[in-house]
Amino acid sequence: PKYVYFFGGKKAEGKADMKELLGGKGANLAEMVNIGLPVPAGFTITTEVCTAYYKNNKKYPKELKQQVLDALKKVENEMGAKFGDKDNPLLVSVRSGARASMPGMMETILNVGLNNETREGLIKKTNNPRFVYDSHRRLIQMYSDVVMEKAAGIEPEEGKGVRQQLEAELEKMKEAKGYQSDVDLTADDLKELIEIYKAKVQEVLGKPFPEDPMEQLWGAIAAVFQSWMGKRAISYRRFEGIPDDWGTAVNVQSMVFGNMGDTSATGVAFTRNPATGEKYFYGEWLPNAQGEDVVAGIRTPNPINEIGKSEHTKHLPSLETAMPKVYKELLGYQKMLEKHYRDMLDIEFTIQEGKLYMLQCRVGKRNGPAAVKMALDMLQEKLITKEEAILRVNPAQLDELLHPIIDPKAETTATMVAKGLPAGPGGASGQIVFSSEEAVKWAKAGKRVILVREETNPEDIEGMRAAEAILTARGGMTSHAALVARGWGKCCIVGAGSIKINFKDKTMTTNGYTLKEGDWITLNGTKGVVYLGELPMIKAAEENPYFQKLMKLCDQFRRLKIRTNADTPEDASKARSFGAEGIGLFRTEHMFYGKNSEEPLSKLRKMIVSKTEDERRKALDELFPYVKADIKGTLEAMDKYGVTIRTLDPPLHEFVPHSQEEREKLAKSLGITLEELNERAESLHENNPMMGHRGVRLGITFPEVTEMQVRAIFEAAAELIKEGKKPFPEIMIPVVSHVNELKHQYDIVVRVHKEVCEKFGLKKIPHLTGTMIEIPRAALTANKIAEYAQFFSFGTNDLTQMGFGFSRDDIGGFLPDYLEKKILPEDPFQSIDQEGVGELMKIGVAKGRATRPDLKIGICGEHGGEPKSVVFCHNIGLDYVSCSPFRVPIARLAAAQAAI
């Protein structure tokens, strides 16, 4: 088998689409050679060798040695120099390069092939002894660290590594000679230092530094393969989801030198600005420097051109003015590369005595706003197709466009005080308050506040609405606070465990800091980090024309409809502005919170603690106008589009007031004693309310509750019809597990529909009646349920909860461990568990449509706005997904990508 691929001259054996075999770096080096760019010759050892190496007890395939020697010969011919030759030596770099880019995670060794003999030849050739000695001592420093120590598995004590000890020798010499900086070292100094280094290597590692160039080469190759299993590389792969068995390739490439003097340089650049997407060549460079000096941040680099200068860098020399001819050449190459790859690229180059060499290119990483702008610009430039433009933007990145973010420059120097789960993306700063009431009060006074709570419950909702952001010490990504915050597009961090709140003193402590009410903090909800003080924000680009254009483009391709979960007319119109085509979930109960008036809530409470049907009917009658008004407002905001209204779902006790004061008020309004009220409240207590008296079960034990809601819906719709509008309510019964439950409610709907039609003199009120599929039994018996349901909406939050038997409110105790130990590949509450919960959905779809071929099917769980889940919903043939308003754009993009 072929294990080694040559590149150089005019022709390479590999090409760009051979990334799996040659790694990204190797494949792209080959491609650059093929399109005629100046690339120093070299060869790539395939990723298969890496895999074989680890399989066979760290032994290479037997053909490898000869293939490497043959390729090296070709490189020597190309470069007119000979590896290890004492008169005309070739030096090489040995570079790692996996399929997916893992920047800085693995090793690269430069200047391989230098020893006391070959360096004399190089001095004669270059007439630059200082540069040669400097390269030699760099080799010893790098090689002894990477090859002789790390790859050999030696773990020195903190600060006692061979590299540090060599650096200490360098410092010692500078001190002895009275030098300030490395550049003061003369050729003779460096020559002396090399001998000191060698002695030190022998002393620290008990082995001499290898003089034999071949031994150096094979040592470096092995070290690169070893670095695939290095700690850094392994954890990076975990984080990025890169499989361990991909392996890395090794690139052996002739050295070119950016450190030969003032006409030499090295640099890194992007074909467009990766932070903004603006179309201009963007980069940094350093004169008289080698290798990683730029990326590693050892020296402050200069801007590559005049256009790229900022307030910060305007006094620094640009390559454009320092070496105009070389710059022009580079500008031409980057243009050529972008045209060839049809994408923004990240490139590395080196200039040796005025001659330019290309050392790397790859598709560049970019942020959300830049990704969107570049995709649309490139479409306009006819560089890419519409489909490609849509596929170029990662749906998750759209979030970055919709929320304000912390100015990244300010963030790098900010003081971090806590870390939690990134529940609501974006950034926000404000003054700390510890209660919902304070949040509302401060906000009314025009202040920006961050609501800090142990955890949040429905009663905090007003404070959450008023606050800029929410921070909790407990809770997970699907906790109430997180759910609500995301729905509002609010920045939110939950489960910041280091935070301890002292409500009495109105202070909190975290990681040694004590903060009090009114202190400023800033949250990065995308990363889950809390900072001290007020950091500057960058405005989100909701009106970004590129964003709007991308959305329109997506609409040309997607088949799935996108609806939103909204409970208020404000949310409904927000979602409409993001392009929602109807409401997939209107939660009746949410209208009782966050209202300016306490009235509806107190009426609801009255209804809940009623004892007799009479009492209850009276309370319901009082409640009716509020419910009707709210539904009417929402139906109106969504005119023409469907509005799925779910009947009352949560367990009743959630609505019973907790405070003594509230309870007294309620008892009074019912004309009963406090004891009596407490008794009734007590009787509502349930051991497992999530599986208790909720949803359709309420509607069956108290049919009058369903009846009131259905009547409110139909009367609201009837009034709108009379006003010339086209409302379209879809009545949705939750928590159904048996067809008879639905039938019972369906009969109520039919009866009330008839009554309201008569009352308003209408022939009919257009509507649908349907159910949520959120209990496994409902999915399994969907054929029966479809006899009474005109639509299904998968409630995947509950379906996941009951499918796994995981209590959503208690997963914090074990789910992190499950993910850590890879019991589950990811949080099933975030992305649909396609294998299990997804199978229930597929069964539901198939059985439901078997009974009723035109059954409308959607999803209204949190998953409806998660890109992977959206693709799944497309694939199993749903008609729509419904998600929180701020996720509508993400769902539009994901749905378009699914259809391409």
As annotated, the binding site includes 587, 646, 774, 795-798
> Burial level of 506, CB count in 10 A (0-12/13-18/19+)?
middle
291 contact, one of Mg ion, ligand ADP, none, CB 5-8 Å limit per kind: ligand ADP
Site residues (vs Mg ion, CB under 5 A): 360, 774, 795, 798
40 contact, one of ligand ADP, Mg ion, none, CB 5-8 Å limit per kind: ligand ADP
In the complex, minimum distance from the CB of residue 860 to Mg ion, in angstroms, rounded to a whole number: 9
34 contact, one of ligand ADP, Mg ion, none, CB 5-8 Å limit per kind: none
- In which element (H, E) is residue 70 found? helix 64-79
CA distance 565 to 587: 8
Query: What type of residue sits at position 784?
Result: K
Give the nearest residue (CB) to Mg ion: 798
55-80 as b/e: b if 16+ CB within 10 A: eeeeebeeebeebbeebbebbbebbe
Nearest to Mg ion of 573, 830 (CB atom): 830
Q: How many CB atoms lie within 10 A of CB 810?
A: 11
Copy the structure tokens of residue 757. Answer: 């039609």
CA distance 363 to 374: 13
CA distance 175 to 626: 83
Pick from 147, 144, 153, 158: nearest CA to 204: 144
For 104: left if phi > 0, alpha if psi spans -120 to 50, otherwise beta; the answer is: left
CA distance 878 to 842: 10
Strand partners, 45: 4, 250
In the complex, minimum distance from the CB of residue 289 to ligand ADP, in angstroms, rounded to a whole number: 9
Nearest to ligand ADP of 258, 277 (CB atom): 258
In the complex, minimum distance from the CB of residue 181 to ligand ADP, in angstroms, rounded to a whole number: 21
CA distance 88 to 122: 7
Check if the beta carbon of residue 690 is closer than 8 Å to that of residue 808.
yes
CA distance 775 to 203: 70
Which DSSP letter does residue 796 get?
Answer: H
Copy the structure tokens of residue 282. Answer: 């963007």
> Burial level of 841, CB count in 10 A (0-12/13-18/19+)?
buried
DSSP 719-767: HHHHTT---EEEEEE-S--SHHHHHHHHHHHHHHHHHHHHHHT-S----
Nearest to ligand ADP of 253, 334 (CB atom): 253
**Active-site residue, 767 included:** no
795 contact, one of Mg ion, ligand ADP, none, CB 5-8 Å limit per kind: Mg ion
Known binding residues for Mg(2+) are 774, 798
In the complex, minimum distance from the CB of residue 348 to Mg ion, in angstroms, rounded to a whole number: 5
In the complex, minimum distance from the CB of residue 548 to ligand ADP, in angstroms, rounded to a whole number: 37
Copy the structure tokens of residue 13. Answer: 């054996």
Which residue among 361, 492, 860, 883 is the active-site one? 860
Query: What type of residue sits at position 73?
Result: K
858-869 as b/e: b if 16+ CB within 10 A: bbbbbbbbbbbb
Strand partners, 95: 108, 251
In the complex, minimum distance from the CB of residue 108 to ligand ADP, in angstroms, rounded to a whole number: 4
253 contact, one of Mg ion, ligand ADP, none, CB 5-8 Å limit per kind: ligand ADP
292 contact, one of ligand ADP, Mg ion, none, CB 5-8 Å limit per kind: ligand ADP
Nearest to ligand ADP of 131, 592 (CB atom): 131
Name 664's Cβ contacts closer than 8 Å, sequence gap at least 6: 674
Nearest to ligand ADP of 145, 400 (CB atom): 145
Site residues (vs ligand ADP, CB under 6 A): 40, 93, 95, 103-104, 108, 110, 253-256, 266, 291-292, 348, 350, 359-360
CA distance 176 to 461: 68
Alpha-carbon Rg for the chain, nearest whole angstrom, is 34
> Strand 529-532 relative to strand 416-419: parallel, antiparallel, unpaired?
antiparallel
Nearest to ligand ADP of 266, 771 (CB atom): 266
In the complex, minimum distance from the CB of residue 254 to ligand ADP, in angstroms, rounded to a whole number: 6
Check if the beta carbon of residue 26 is closer than 8 Å to that of residue 33.
no
Nearest to ligand ADP of 222, 421 (CB atom): 222
Pick from 431, 403, 547: nearest CA to 488: 403
798 contact, one of ligand ADP, Mg ion, none, CB 5-8 Å limit per kind: Mg ion
Nearest to ligand ADP of 48, 292 (CB atom): 292
594 contact, one of Mg ion, ligand ADP, none, CB 5-8 Å limit per kind: none
256 contact, one of ligand ADP, Mg ion, none, CB 5-8 Å limit per kind: ligand ADP
Nearest to ligand ADP of 350, 769 (CB atom): 350
CA distance 174 to 190: 11
Check if the beta carbon of residue 483 is closer than 8 Å to that of residue 464.
no
Nearest to ligand ADP of 293, 827 (CB atom): 293
In the complex, minimum distance from the CB of residue 224 to ligand ADP, in angstroms, rounded to a whole number: 9
737 contact, one of ligand ADP, Mg ion, none, CB 5-8 Å limit per kind: none
Which residue among 50, 361, 403, 480 is the active-site one? 480
CA distance 436 to 523: 18
Known binding residues for substrate are 587, 646, 774, 795-798
Instruction: At 815, give phi and psi (nearest 5°).
Output: -60, -40
In the complex, minimum distance from the CB of residue 890 to ligand ADP, in angstroms, rounded to a whole number: 32
95 contact, one of Mg ion, ligand ADP, none, CB 5-8 Å limit per kind: ligand ADP
CA distance 800 to 209: 60
In the complex, minimum distance from the CB of residue 255 to ligand ADP, in angstroms, rounded to a whole number: 4
Name 684's Cβ contacts closer than 8 Å, sequence gap at least 6: 608, 609, 651, 652, 653, 656, 693
**Active-site residue, 480 included:** yes
Strand blocks (E) in 46-135 = 82-83, 89-90, 92-98, 108-112
In the complex, minimum distance from the CB of residue 260 to ligand ADP, in angstroms, rounded to a whole number: 11
Nearest to ligand ADP of 94, 482 (CB atom): 94
- The residues annotated as belonging to the active site are 480, 860
